Amino acid sequence: MSSTSAQVGPGPLPDTALTDFLIEQRLAEPTEAAHWTPLAGGVSSDLWRVDLPGRSLCVKRALARLKVAADWQAPVSRNAYEWAWMRFADRHRPDSVPDLLAHDPEAGLFAMAYLPPERHPVWKAQLLDGEVRVATAAAVGELLGSLHAASAGDATLAEEFATDDNFHALRIEPYLLATAAAHPGLGDVLRGLADRTAATHLALVHGDVSPKNILVGPSGPVLLDAECAWYGDPAFDLAFCVNHLLLKSLAVPGRRAELLRSARILAQEYVRCVDWEPRPALAERAATLLPALLLARVDGKSPVEYLTDDRHRMLVRTVATALLRAPAPTVGDVLDTWEAALPAPTGPGSVRPD
């Protein structure tokens, strides 16, 4: 939803609640000069880079109404669950999240380290610039699978992250149910996927594993923005991430082969980690969610901004509809169907969308 390394330039000063938070948490002295810069990339939170003498950090605050055209509201309590998810990830894979500094659950605020973009570029920016490294996708798949494996069957985590209402508001309703409303002919299928997803509780789900929320760090991928954290269906995270690689294969036709290979390798590395349930069961749930999420990023409440060509949006609708009506058993089968439907790339090299 946002990135700790996507700067957009100086803006208005934050309100006093944010500045007071830094002082109360002893992250800043009252007499220190602080330069606040809003960071871009998110619709669900305010995110600031704070430059203090000799150091920089980020402060994040959840918003009650998300910054999208559709009316999309969500509880600000998700900020506390994001903090808790990041603490979980830090225990198991310390390099996979920024250093955590301070948290105020009542105010819906937390502070974390600022990761400079020259050392931690945003994966989405790399992909749209045509810089596609299959090794990065492999590392993302392995990291995601290992975190799911570390949380599977953990009753304490299941109780701590019983965030079904949050996940419904942030994912089930705007992605699956809103898309069902936009496509009445697929309504029964999409509502069935929504019900199945909501009823599956197997591992700790990040909920927003998108390239815009992944930094490519020197020690591996760094995950951000776990506001949707929920003890639920891990297949959702896998499908959610692979979905973005498929959509980008339309936007960056000159790197289509590498993007599709990245999607396959990510899924393969993820599945290697699955030891909490039969692998075919998880593969089937991911494969049936994937076309629903493809369609959601065109006709749900949060369409991707880089699919500006009507022909691309129609291709997504056509392929997704066919796969929802005749489900594929594995992510690889979905990829085969997607690849067969793609038009031949026009022009050499990569093309960054407007």
DSSP 278-339: -HHHHHHHHHHHHHHHHHHHHHSSS--TT---HHHHHHHHHHHHHHHHS--SSHHHHHHHHH
In the predicted structure, residue 302 carries a pLDDT above the cut 80: yes
Question: Is a pLDDT exceeding 90 seen at residue 205?
Answer: yes
Residue among 7, 236, 225, 231 at smallest CA distance from 116? 7
Task: Reply yes or no on whether the pLDDT at 319 is more than 90.
Answer: yes
* Parts of the chain belonging to CATH 3.90.1200.10: 123-341
What is the maximum alpha-carbon separation in the chain? 64
Architecture of domain 123-341: Alpha-Beta Complex (3.90)
Mean pLDDT throughout 191-212? 98
**Worst-scoring range by mean pLDDT, 34-38, 131-135, 330-334?**
34-38
- pLDDT tens-digit readout, 132-188: 999 999 999 999 999 999 999 999 999 999 999 989 988 999 999 999 999 999 999
What's the CATH code, domain 16-113? 3.30.200.20
How much is the mean pLDDT over the chain? 89
Strand partners, 220: 217
Q: What is the pTM of this model?
A: 0.89
Q: What is the pLDDT of residues 220-260, one digit of tens each?
A: 999 999 989 999 999 999 999 999 999 999 999 999 999 99
What stretch(es) of the chain map to CATH 3.30.200.20? 16-113
Residue 106 — pLDDT band, cuts 50, 70, 90? confident
Q: How many CA atoms lie within 13 A of 116 on its CB side?
A: 5
Average pLDDT (213-217) is: 96
Q: What is the model's pLDDT at position 13?
A: 61
Q: What is the mean pLDDT of residues 260-281?
A: 98
